[in-house]
Amino acid sequence: MSDDVMAQIRAHQKQGFGNVVGIEYVEVGPDRVVVTVPVEPHLHQPHGIVHGGVHCAIVEEVASVAGSVWLGGDGKVVGVNNSTDFLRAVTEGTLTATGTPVHRGRTQQLWRVEITDASGRTAAVGQVRLANLEPPAPREG
């Protein structure tokens, strides 16, 4: 992975939605992305457990970064479907999310993201389908 791509990810991490959630990148590569998220009260729903939307956001961010890194160059990806299943309630500790490819093709990708709790138990599993967006062709005239 180029230093430019990692610099872009780090810059976004400081100002984007991932910053609000608390996403920290542990490993970033074209075949695997790993992040951690400390569980804090602002991530809880009213019953004191991590909000399902937080899991969905983590899944989306991990898949999108992984897909972008794999696509490389000036191409971009956008999520077109996010399906996340919640398996275990988490109230504290650190979440770890690992994204791996299921399919990577010319126009779309499918990534699986598993989120585990501090004890390594699966808390949520998601899949994100990404559309590969190539940069627009230069306009003539």
CB atoms within 10 A of CB 81: 11
Mean pLDDT over residues 111-126, rounded? 98
What's the predicted TM-score (pTM) here? 0.89
Confidence of residue 119 (pLDDT cuts 50, 70, 90): very high
**Structure tokens, 112:** 């699986």
- Three-point CA angle 135, 77, 5, nearest 5°: 80
Question: How does pLDDT run across 66-83, given as a tens digit for each residue?
Answer: 999 998 877 789 999 999
CB 66 within 8 Å of CB 33:
yes
What is residue 19's predicted lDDT score, i.e. its pLDDT? 83
Question: Could you list the active site residues?
Answer: 60
Categorize the per-residue pLDDT at 137 as very low, low, confident or very high, splitting at 50, 70 and 90: low
Residue 114 in contact with residue 101, Cβ under 8 Å? Answer: no
User: What is the amino acid identity at position 32?
Assistant: R
Region 3-133: CATH code: 3.10.129.10
Return the pLDDT at 136: 63
Enumerate the domain spans of the chain: 3-133
CB atoms within 10 A of CB 118: 15
The DSSP H or E segment spanning 116 is: strand 108-116
Spell out the residues 6+ positions from residue 37 whose beta carbon is closer than 8 angstroms to its own.
Answer: 21, 22, 23, 24, 43, 54, 58, 94, 95, 96, 97
